[in-house]
Structure formats: structure tokens, C-alpha cells
Chains A and B, each alone.
Chain A
Amino acid sequence: MTERAQMSEPAQMTEPAMELRGVSVNFGSVRALQDIDIKVYPGEVHCLLGDNGAGKSTLIKVLSGVYRPSKGEILVDGKTVTFRSPRDAQELGVATVFQDLGMISLMSITRNFFLGREPTKSSLPFSRIDKERANTIARQAMADIGIDVRDPTQAVGTLSGGERQSVAIARAVHFGARVLILDEPTSALGVHQAAMVLKFIIEARMRGLAVIFISHNIHHAYPVGDTFTLLNRGRNRGTYAKSDISRDEVISIMSGGEDLKAVEAEIAGLLAQIGSRPPAAP
């Protein structure tokens, strides 16, 4: 499976919402990404999978406007764009929920939700933030994707990891994101909370968003994903529709296949050694 697999067209024959063409990123002599081509369609969950060091984080930063590619093009709705900052990307409807969430824990849910886009009562400088409206909208936007917020004025720091992730997603969806980039949204979460976040990903997809879901956990990515792009050592190892690839195949490619078998054999050997001894009392 080392050679590039045939790209299978997704169900939608529409224009990709976002596309990378031949994108490379170099940091000095380090080639973090080489010649990456990716197409993401509306109403599609596109999973970027790869082990640590595969280039996932760099790729997200290119998609979200934090880094500019050394080579290649970014297209949004078929038009070539240049992101000078994450703000530029947002203006074009490309919203990113970073792993550290971009939430300010000492500020309230509403203040975080509207940060940078506060609704004011008039256009004068130093006019009041319309707090009532902001609270109502924030609560409603979160209710829309199925989160019940007890009190939108409570500090974000009081929320659980899953809730914070949900607020970040709700914020991105509310402010008109058409491409939603989620960087490891489930990695730090418990089972229940991860399930909640996966549900929001499905909700976002059903609303016609293009979702780019970065993960190294195949058990989270496989159930919700429509398309899988596998990254390894800065290169695209192939893009597959779900129907064309099984979970085990994905795992195998992600971990570099051979490596995993070697690790398994090693573990089996260890277990065989320990196996003769009785387990410790429960």
C-alpha cells in the first residue's frame, strides 16, 4: 500500500469547499509537508489521520491560516486564496477549533463565544455590548447543536473538556463556518464526552459543512468519517472513501504497518514470559 491509491470521488460531485494543491511547508531544512493535495467537500467529514510527526499539526496550521505554505496553493470554493492570519481564514468561512481550543478560561461562555465579534447596541465607539442578546444567542446556538448550557455567564474554566470543545464548535458553526477544522477534538476526553463531540461533528456535517477532523484515534475517526487521508512523514499516503478501506487497513497504514506488527510480536513475547506467573490479586 505504499504507492498512491486511486482517489475515489466522494458522493457529492460538487466543487470542493476547500482544496490544497501541491502544498509543501519547510522549516529550514526540515520538510514538514511535501506536495500535499487534499479536497474537502461540503457535507463531508474528511479525516486526516497519522501518527505523531506525520505533519497533521502543520497541515492544520496551513489550513487555518497560522502558517503560509512554502509552495502550493490553497483554494476556497474554487478560488485561490492567501491567508495572512487566522482572521483571514475565518472571514472566508474556514474556522478552526484548535487543540487548546482558543478559549479563555477566566472569561464567561458568552464572552468567549462572541470574542472578536461582540454584538453592540450601537456602532459608536465604547457602546455597550448587548449582553442579553449575546447570552440568548449563545445559549440558543448551543442548544441548536444539542448542548444545554446552564448559565452562559459562568466561566469557561468551570466547564468540562467536552463542554468546552462543544462551545468552540458551536461558536464556529454559529459564525458561518463552511469549513470546520477540528484538531484532535476527542483526544483529551472521556468516552461519554468524546461521543458527545462526535455527535456534534455529525450535526455539523448534516448542516452541509465540510468538516476536517484530525485525529490519531481511529476509533473516533472511523465511525464519523466519510473520507480518510493518511499522512505519514509529511506526505499524503492516499485518500480513501470509507467504502474503500476497512478500519484495520487504516490502522495498519497509520502506524506504518510493519512497525505495528513488530510491536505486537514484541508484546506477545513479553506476555508469554509473564504469562507463566499468576496475576496479582485483584
Chain B
Amino acid sequence: MAVVEDKAIPPGELKATDRFGMTSKRAAGADERLASTGKLTQWLRRPEAGAAGGLLATIIIFALLPGAANLYSLQGSMTFLTLSAELGIVATAAALLIIAGEFDLSVGSMVGFAGVVIGLTVKYWGLPLWGGIACAFAVAILTGYLNGLIVVKTRLPSFIVTLATLYILRGLSIGITRAVTGRTQIPYILEGVPDPATAGIFNGHLLTGLFHWMGAQGWIGTRSDGIPFVAGIPMSIVWWLGPTALAGYVLTQTKYGNWIFATGGDLIAARNVGVPVDRVKISLFVYTACAATLLATIQVMEAGSADTTRGLLKEFEAIIAAVIGGVLLTGGYGTVYGVLFGALIFGLVQMGIFYTGIDTDWFKVFLGIVILMAVLVNNYIRLKALGRGGGK
């Protein structure tokens, strides 16, 4: 049927089917080929579905293995939650950056460097803790800004640019620390500071009253002096869940979140409709550096020391958590809730292998398999989301 003629066919003359029994697309109305999608299918199409399923499977597997009682005890749970939190803080930021189409491989080195900055400024410059922490964040903002600026101005792959930053920051951490202290560690940072309460914001516990009361009731284990083994919810978990919830809100509910997806989804298209893609990218590089510094602050406050090797390989663990969480490495797709599940899987497996008594050497094998499975599931889900068998 030749539709593209000089005169359009008046709609009245259209029949639903022509003499060949073909259904006219114009007369057919709603497309009868469109299958309705059920609630389950819709849920399965969410980017975090794979990670949620993976988490459930991991929980069940470790529940069936020996050592489950210890792993899932209050103490064991807090331990793996803390591990997940330490990864999750960085992974959420890394995920947003990956969704915007870039990588930051310097986050691990940033963790080490920020710790060193706090250690040196507090212990050798005599700054109060809050001053040292402020210095570390200032350095992080500058580092993130430079990473971002170089990437958007030169259009080099962020993989290479931040790989350079990875080495520069790690080298600076070790070099400066050894030059100033003669060692590669800065111990006893918290001793004699004018504001010891500042540390509590990062290494304290939440709901200590409730946990103490539960201990008094005999519901949770206590030491001989009546103090429960688990004093409360560690602040690291609060620093993980709070910013993650905020990041989730920003990503899905705000204009800026829309721009993050667009920047990673199609840079040129986003720029053509006026999305400030450079600003989006630079701000996210600043965010990853600040997230690394938050983790560094928590670690320094908990250990009371800084170590130049801290955060080693954190950049890859963060990317792994993001990928397990359903974030597409090519950008433009993902959620922070998936990354939350990814970080949980990571922490659970790490602790689970420890409690089950399996040789921890196997952790890496397991991790590799999980990554591969996650990528396969994600790829499948993305194609499902687009409602087709093959993608471009």
C-alpha cells in the first residue's frame, strides 16, 4: 500500500484489512502484538534485581554452611555490615561516576593519602581533629576537581587519567610520610588532641542506650562488666546508608540525577540539549574523592593511626560492587540500591568464608565467579529492559 503519495489517503477510506488480508497499521489502533507485562517482569527489569537475587542466594548458601550461627549472630552481622559499609561508602560514589560514563581508579590511593593528610596535620602541625579532617577534604576536592578537569578538557579516557592519579597519590603518601616521620605509618593520632569528641562522629556507635538495655535484659551477649559485645550500630554503617539514600534520591528524583544518566547514556545528545556534561562529570569526580576521604577519616578514627597502604585495591572493589549491583560499565544505567546489595554481597562473602573455615585464599576465586555472573545477569537484564533480544 503506497502511503507516501502526494495526497494522503483520507482516513475514512481506510479499511482495517486490505484485499491481501493484511492489517493496516493505520486502522488497527492499539498494537495487538504488544504483550502486557506482569508485575514480576517489571520488577525483574529493575537494574538492582540481579544483585538482590544474588544477595538472597549468598545469604542462603552461607546459612547452609558450617559457621552460619557465628556469621549471622549479632556480632558476626555487625562485622560483615561494617566491611560492607567501608566498601559501600566508596562504591556508591564510584557507581554514580560510572553511570555518568567515567571511572575513578584513584579512590583507593585517595583513601591512603587522605589518612596521611589527617595524620600529618594533626600530629605534626598540631591542628585539632576537625582541622585535619577539613584539610583532607580540601585536598580531596582539589584532587577530584583536577581529575575531572583533565578528563573533560583533554577527553582522554578517565581510566588512564585516574590511573596516573592512583600512582601519584600513593607515591605522595609514602614519600611525604617517610620524609616527615621516617616511617610509613603515623600512629597515636588521637592522643592529646583538643577535640577527642570529633572522633566519635566517625568511630562511635548509634543507639548505644538501646543496645545496653538489650544487654541488661540478657537478649544480647555482654562482657563480664555488663557492656554488650556490640555497643551499638557503628557509625561507619550510618555513613554508608545515609549518603547512599541521599545519592539514590538525587539520582532518581532530581534534575541533576537525570543529567547523570544522560551524560553516561549519550554524551553528545546530552550536550546538544544543554546538559552541562562537564560540570556533571567534574562534580562526580569530586564526590568520589570525598567519599574516599570519608572512608579514610573513619579508618583513621577507628584505628587511631594512618597507614600509607590503606585503601589498596579499593578502586577495583568499588567497581566490582557497582557492577554486581547492576551498574553498566559503559554508563547510563544503574541504581545505588543495587550497589548497596553489591557491597553487602562483598562483605558477606568475605566474612562468610572466614567463619565457615574455608581457606580465605578461595575468596578471590569466588569473587571472580560472582563478577562474571553479575555481568552476565546485568547484560541480560538490560536487554530485557529494552524489550528485545539483541542490543546495540
Q: Which residues of A contact B (CB under 8 A)?
A: 66, 85-87, 90, 96, 98, 100-107, 111, 114-118, 120, 125-129, 148, 150, 155, 157-158, 191-192, 194-195, 198-199, 219-220, 222-223
Knowing A90-B274, A115-B275, A191-B4 touch, does A104 contact B269 (C-beta < 8 A)?
yes
Q: Is the CB of A115 within 8 A of B262?
A: yes
Q: Is the CB of B272 within 8 A of A223?
A: no
Q: Is the CB of B258 within 8 A of A129?
A: yes
List, sorted by A's number, 24 A–B pairs whose CB atoms are closer than 8 Å.
Answer: A85-B274, A102-B273, A104-B266, A106-B332, A106-B333, A111-B258, A111-B261, A114-B258, A115-B273, A116-B273, A117-B273, A120-B254, A120-B255, A126-B249, A126-B256, A127-B254, A127-B255, A157-B385, A157-B386, A158-B388, A192-B25, A198-B4, A199-B8, A220-B4
Distance of A107 Cα from B5 Cα, bound (Å)? 35
Interface residues of B, dominant DSSP: loop
**How distant is B24 from chain A, measured CB to nearest CB, in Å?**
9
Distance of A143 Cα from B258 Cα, bound (Å)? 24
B382 at interface, CB cutoff 8 A = yes
Question: Which of B255, B256, B261 contacts A107, CB < 8 Å?
Answer: B261
**Given the complex, which residues of A lie within 8 Å of B275, measured CB to CB?**
115-116
Q: Is the CB of A155 within 8 A of B385?
A: yes
Question: Which of A66, A129, A191, A223 contacts B254, CB < 8 Å?
Answer: A129
Q: Is the CB of A118 within 8 A of B258?
A: yes
**Given the complex, which residues of A lie within 8 Å of B262, measured CB to CB?**
104, 107, 111, 115-116
**Given the complex, which residues of B lie within 8 Å of A158, measured CB to CB?**
386-388
**How distant is B364 from chain A, measured CB to nearest CB, in Å?**
32
Chain B, range 227-281, C-beta contacts under 8 Å to A: 249-250, 253-256, 258-259, 261-262, 265-266, 268-275
Question: Which of A86, A128, A194, A198 contacts B253, CB < 8 Å?
Answer: A128
Distance of A128 Cα from B3 Cα, bound (Å)? 44
**Given the complex, which residues of A lie within 8 Å of B6, measured CB to CB?**
222-223
**Beyond A158-B386, A195-B3, A223-B6, 11 extra complex contacts between A and B, CB < 8 Å:** A86-B273, A102-B273, A105-B265, A106-B328, A106-B385, A115-B273, A115-B275, A116-B270, A126-B250, A127-B254, A192-B26
Q: Is the CB of A219 within 8 A of B4?
A: yes
Q: Is the CB of B255 within 8 A of A102?
A: no
Distance of A207 Cα from B224 Cα, bound (Å)? 83
**Given the complex, which residues of B lie within 8 Å of A104, measured CB to CB?**
261-262, 265-266, 269-270, 332
Q: Is the CB of A103 within 8 A of B255?
A: no
Q: Is the CB of A102 within 8 A of B387?
A: no
Question: Which of B254, B258, B382 contacts A106, CB < 8 Å?
Answer: B382
Distance of A85 Cα from B5 Cα, bound (Å)? 38
B64 at interface, CB cutoff 8 A = no
Q: In the complex, which residue of chain B has the Cβ closest to the Cβ of A150?
A: B34
Q: In the complex, which residue of chain A has the Cβ closest to the Cβ of B387?
A: A158
**Given the complex, which residues of B lie within 8 Å of A87, measured CB to CB?**
273-274
Distance of A101 Cα from B8 Cα, bound (Å)? 26
Interface centre among A90, A125, A126, A199 (most CB of B within 10 A): A126
**Given the complex, which residues of A lie within 8 Å of B386, measured CB to CB?**
105-106, 155, 157-158
Q: Is the CB of A107 within 8 A of B274?
A: no
Q: In the complex, which residue of chain A has the Cβ closest to the Cβ of B392?
A: A105
Distance of A117 Cα from B26 Cα, bound (Å)? 33
**How distant is A150 from chain B, measured CB to nearest CB, in Å?**
7
